[in-house]
Structure 1
Amino acid sequence: MTTLYGHRAPNTTARAPHWSDAALCRRTDPEAFFPAGIGAAVQQQIDDAKTFCTGCPVRLACATSAITNGWDKGVWGALDEGQRRRIVQRRPENLRQAIRDEWAKRKANPYFDAYASRTEQEDDGHVRWLIKSTSVTVLGRNYTPAQLGLILARGREPHGTTKATCGRPGCVAPEHLADDIVRWDRSRDAA
């Protein structure tokens, strides 16, 4: 037996517009905004994503949504994970202004620039220092290639001797470097 009212009418109401409809990244590979790991290549991917976001018409809405919804991974609205975490920790009264202030701080990383312009990524994950000089001056201080790589990997000044742990002579891949603190942490964890 069939009924006259046994079917439903199609839903013809349109979805309300959302800020993400106008996001430039909708037409790109989402992996570009979610770099994983540490090192110069990852930092370059983060910087590239932020640069891409800079031209997006909805970057303020994107950054605001990421902070208010607790999206802790990736680059959202030209802000990386650390930048969003700093904003959340400050608990600003005006979130939009805090985001704009964080954007204004964006400067080139002099450590990354010094490292990237003098190194070359090899196919097997190692990084080679390209110039003969074994030190470079950044912000008025001299660093070895390994020390520069460690700063990129750990986000802090090196302590004691900094050298590669991969066994490859001359490798300065940030993820392959350890100073006294890293070696001490590893020996403590192993014990």
Structure 2
Amino acid sequence: MMMLDWSRRAACLGMDPELFFPISLEGPGRSQVERAKAICGGCPVRQPCLDYALRTRQFDGIWGGTDPDQRRELMVKAAPRRETVPARARPGDH
């Protein structure tokens, strides 16, 4: 597997990956999420990490300092809006 160039400068490099993939975002897992986000907070490649997670639709774990719910929200905000086009009237329709 080819390593992403930005990941070689990540603050989490060499850390236990399980820290960034808590079993739950609530209860005891909440402190794990906060520890992982704190590490991301000082990471020099936080934005490329987040961009990668959004682009590849990573729905698990902490990426770029965000949890899955935060990334889903970002994906929804970034999704192209579909404009509703009114149906064309056909001859004979009233």
Instruction: Give TM class, smaller chain.
Output: 0.7 to 0.9
Unmatched runs of 5 consecutive residues or more in structure 2: 81-94
Equivalent residue, structure 1, for 2:75:
88
Displacement of 1:21 in angstroms is 0.8
The whole-number CA distance in structure 1 between the counterparts of 2:29 and 2:3 is: 36
Q: Deviations over 1:16-61 (max 9, x none)?
A: 9710111111110000000013532111111110011001100000
1:69 and 2:56 correspond: yes
The whole-number CA distance in structure 2 between the counterparts of 1:37 and 1:17 is: 27
Which amino acid letter does the alignment assign opposite residue 46 of structure 2? R
Checking the alignment, whether the CA contact within 8 Å between 2:24 and 2:30 is kept in structure 1 is no
- Determine helix, strand or coil for the equivalent of 2:22: coil
The whole-number CA distance in structure 1 between the counterparts of 2:36 and 2:14 is: 13
Displacement of 1:91 in angstroms is 1.4
CA 1:90–1:38: 2 relative to 1, 3 Å: closer
The whole-number CA distance in structure 2 between the counterparts of 1:59 and 1:40 is: 26
Unmatched runs of 5 consecutive residues or more in structure 1: 1-14, 94-191
Q: Deviations over 1:75-123 (max 9, x none)?
A: 0010110000000011168xxxxxxxxxxxxxxxxxxxxxxxxxxxxxx
CA 1:24–1:44: 2 relative to 1, 3 Å: same
CA 1:17–1:28: 2 relative to 1, 3 Å: closer
CA RMSD of aligned residues (A): 2.1
Larger Rg: 1
1:18 and 2:5 correspond: yes
> Percent of pairs identical after alignment?
35
Equivalent residue, structure 2, for 1:52:
39
Checking the alignment, whether the CA contact within 8 Å between 2:10 and 2:44 is kept in structure 1 is yes
The whole-number CA distance in structure 1 between the counterparts of 2:27 and 2:39 is: 18
Question: TM-score, normalised on structure 2?
Answer: 0.75
CA 1:42–1:18: 2 relative to 1, 3 Å: same
